[in-house]
Amino acid sequence: MKKIELLAPAGDLEKLKTAVDYGADAVYFGGEMFSLRAGAGNLTVPEIREGVEYARQRGCRCYLTVNIYAHNEDIEPLQTYLRELRGVPIDAFLVSDPGVMEVIRGEFPSAELHLSTQANMTNYRTAGFWHRMGVKRLVLARELSLAEIREISQKSPEGLELEAFVHGAMCISYSGRCLLSSFMTGRDANRGLCAHPCRYRYALTEEKRPGQYYPIEEDSRGSYILNSKDLCMIRHIPELAESGIVSAKLEGRMKSAYYVATVVHAYRRAIDAYYRDPEHYVFREEWFRELCKASHRDFTTGFYFHDAAAEDQNYETSAYRKEYSFVGVVRRPADADGFAVVEQRNKMSRGERIEVFGPDIGFFCQEIGEMYDLESGEPLESAPHPQQLLRMRMEQPVKEGYMLRRRIEEP
């Protein structure tokens, strides 16, 4: 049985390297233009070169998103941009606009093309059409059930691959084809500028009573009528593996490196455990608990098992659940005296309990003890400065890239 690919988001170069280090089989990322996540850090052309080299040296594939719906003024800049990428061994281009596909083919005749979920791929006849157009892989619409995915897989041409989102934010509109942001804020979601109005708090107004807001529900907090829960399929690896998809995709190019590490780490362990012994596979609750240590909304399985219903929405709040704070990342392994170089990411102080985790371990707990400013050598009681470099005593061996987190105490 061929193992499904774990495909991770890479919103910038640090996140790309983090995804690779924590076990992704492939990463997808955007450049500074022509990607549907303009709010992510994204990668410059030199960073794309560096990131692709880093990933490929570690056996990880690289997919570049060029999935906007282009306007006339986008075509010539797109051609110029693609020419800057010549010589970079990108494994595939993620596209949705047929015109953009033609431009890519003109610059990279042998390029592998993956169809973005923006193209609303929902049936096997459409799958056959895109296969005839030379597309290698289809990213399925989030609105499909497992039964529909299995049927598409069974009736698709040989060699056509299917990819599906398995974790992350859900869009209230059909496969991301949304005009709310453009209408309300002038920011076009289909050109990478979504303002996420589906997460706004809404109330009712009457045209002759401006400024008077009436709650839609009998609740003083108002109503988040368009606010979906987050997708989470980590409990259903066997069903995903048997559905016919070749790639399990994680959403989150705008999330933090800590989020990427946490989610990739959890799914990596669950997928590997399944393929080691599919017949006797048992889901381990610790994988889900680890997943929840990254900020998230309440979870849903989306459309995989049933049509979306009221329980798949959160009408009370669009806020994230956040139980842990990302406080540091190891930049240099511990020396003979047990001191590692740590880059601060949020304030931490001596005496606090932290958890340390990495791609090749679960996690261990320790109390923050001796801590020194790396540059001055001065002892510290706390590290309040963003990205301050510290010498910190570690109770167990750590490697570069390990992360430190602290549980947020309830008020």
Domain identity same for 161 and 125: yes
Q: For residues 365 and 348, what is the distance between their CA atoms, to the nearest angstrom?
A: 15
Domain identity same for 156 and 32: yes
The interaxial angle of helices 45-57 and 13-21, nearest 10 deg, is 10
Q: For residues 264 and 4, what is the distance between their CA atoms, to the nearest angstrom?
A: 14
DSSP-derived letter for residue 200 is S
DSSP-derived letter for residue 294 is S
Q: For residues 297 and 141, what is the distance between their CA atoms, to the nearest angstrom?
A: 21
188, part of any domain: no
Domain identity same for 142 and 100: yes
Q: What pLDDT is stored for residue 218 in this prediction?
A: 44
Per-residue model confidence as pLDDT tens digits over 199-249: 677 767 777 888 877 666 544 445 666 677 889 999 999 999 999 999 999
Domain identity same for 260 and 397: no
Domain identity same for 305 and 361: no
Domain identity same for 284 and 332: no
242, part of any domain: yes
- Residue owning tokens 């997919």: 63
Contact 14, 331 (CB under 8 A): no
Domain identity same for 329 and 304: no
Domain identity same for 21 and 163: yes
Per-residue model confidence as pLDDT tens digits over 102-139: 999 999 999 999 999 989 899 999 999 999 999 999 99
What mean pLDDT, rounded, does the chain reach? Answer: 89
291, part of any domain: yes
Q: What pLDDT is stored for residue 405 in this prediction?
A: 97
> Which positions ≥6 away from 232 have C-beta within 8 Å?
167, 291, 296, 299, 300, 301
- Residue owning tokens 């780490």: 265
35, part of any domain: yes
Q: For residues 365 and 135, what is the distance between their CA atoms, to the nearest angstrom?
A: 47
Backbone φ, ψ for residue 61 (5° rounding)? -80, 160
CB atoms within 10 A of CB 167: 24
H helix intervals, 251-348: 257-276, 285-291
180, part of any domain: no
Q: Which of 309, 334, 354 is the C-terminal boundary of a domain?
A: 309
Q: Give the structural domain span for 112.
A: 5-174+228-309
Written as six digits, the tokens of 248 are 């399990």
Q: What pLDDT is stored for residue 45 in this prediction?
A: 94
Q: What pLDDT is stored for residue 391 in this prediction?
A: 97
Q: For residues 187 and 190, what is the distance between their CA atoms, to the nearest angstrom?
A: 9
Q: What pLDDT is stored for residue 178 in this prediction?
A: 66
Domain identity same for 56 and 24: yes
> Which of the residues in the chain have pLDDT under 70?
36-41, 172-179, 181, 183, 189-193, 198-199, 203, 214-226, 308-320, 410-411
Domain identity same for 126 and 68: yes
Contact 6, 267 (CB under 8 A): yes
Q: For residues 28 and 66, what is the distance between their CA atoms, to the nearest angstrom?
A: 10
Closest CA to 75 of 34, 114, 40, 45: 34
User: Which helix or strand (DSSP H or E) is residue 19 part of?
Assistant: helix 13-21
Q: From residue 277, give the alpha-carbon distance in Å to each of 84, 123, 126, 283.
A: 45, 32, 35, 12
Cα dihedral 52, 17, 277, 248 in deg (nearest 10): -70
101, part of any domain: yes
Q: From residue 411, give the alpha-carbon distance in Å to each of 309, 323, 408.
A: 33, 12, 9
Total domains, the chain: 2
Q: From residue 282, give the alpha-carbon distance in Å to each of 17, 160, 272, 293, 305.
A: 30, 31, 12, 21, 20
255, part of any domain: yes
Q: Which of 278, 309, 340 is the C-terminal boundary of a domain?
A: 309
221, part of any domain: no
CATH number at residue 358: 2.40.30.10
The interaxial angle of helices 98-107 and 72-84, nearest 10 deg, is 30
Domain identity same for 328 and 293: no
Q: From residue 243, give the alpha-carbon distance in Å to each of 4, 149, 151.
A: 10, 6, 9
Contact 120, 174 (CB under 8 A): yes
**Chain length of the chain:** 411
Domain identity same for 304 and 345: no
Closest CA to 255 of 168, 358, 356, 347: 168
CATH number at residue 260: 3.20.20.80
